[in-house]
Amino acid sequence: MNKIIIGFLLFLIACHPDKNAIELNNIACNLIVKGQYDSAKVLLIDAIKIDSTYNIAYNNLISVYDELNDTFSVLRTCEKLLKVKPKLAEAWMGSGFVYYKYGDSIKSNSCFKKSLDLFNEQISNLKDTKFINANRINKAVCLILLSKDSDGRFELRKLLKDCPEDSNIIRLFLNMSRDSIINLKTKVNMN
């Protein structure tokens, strides 16, 4: 059973989260897949209490609240995530998707813009080359989300030449409209 998570395009990267928080998150993911959202919620809240910077647990908690149609908690959890991980570009991008879904296009665009700025910052940091291709892909997607379609698609076409190992995901985004990207759903995030 594929249950949704708000459209984080790539897995969020956690910096050495507490192993107990990871374990609770992973158990919660199994409950989410089984549709046991209330039980998953309790475990994810506990995981966040153990490690308040564990962004993947926040992401999954946002998904649970979304499944429970608890808009207030979805938005509140997004705000908490942005406070604990203000430099995590993926969190800003994901929050942009959430605000768009709930009808706040101004806040959504603000989040996409912040995400773009952070991806640009990460790309320009020559010491951090481990995730450069993912950051470049996310930058291109952010441009599309900010209605800079031709700029975003130009970046994706450059990436096709520079990063043949990522050609499947790049082609996927090249063939998607802005609305299709916004409505993109992913599976729950383990670890």
| pLDDT of amino acid 9 | 32
* Confidence category of residue 24, pLDDT binned at 50, 70, 90: very high
Percent with pLDDT over 70 in the chain: 86
- When computed from its CA atoms, the radius of gyration of the chain, rounded to whole angstroms, is 16
C-alpha distances in angstroms, 79 versus 2, 86, 94, 140?
A: 26, 10, 11, 24
The residues, any chain, with a CB within 8 Å of residue 102's CB and separated by 6 or more, are: 71, 74, 75
- Whose CA is closest to 94, among 111, 118, 74? 111
- Work out the angle at residue 172's Cα, subtended by the Cα atoms of residues 168 and 177, and round it to the nearest 5 degrees: 170
Domain boundaries, given as residue ranges, for the chain? 18-86, 105-191
- Across residues 64-69, what is the average pLDDT? 92
- Would you say residue 92 has pLDDT above 70? yes
The residues, any chain, with a CB within 8 Å of residue 180's CB and separated by 6 or more, are: none
| pLDDT of amino acid 12 | 39
Q: Is the pTM of this model over 0.85?
A: no
pLDDT digits (tens, 9 = 90+) for 35-59: 999 999 999 999 999 999 999 999 9
Name the CATH topology of 18-86: 1.25.40
What's the distance, CA 19 to chain centroid? Answer: 21
- Would you say residue 6 has pLDDT above 50? no
Percent with pLDDT over 90 in the chain: 63
- Would you say residue 15 has pLDDT above 70? no
| Residues linked to residue 186 through DSSP beta bridges, in sequence order | 5
Please tell me the distance from the alpha carbon of residue 6 to that of residue 27, in angstroms, as a whole number: 19
pLDDT digits (tens, 9 = 90+) for 152-187: 999 999 999 988 888 999 999 999 999 888 877 544
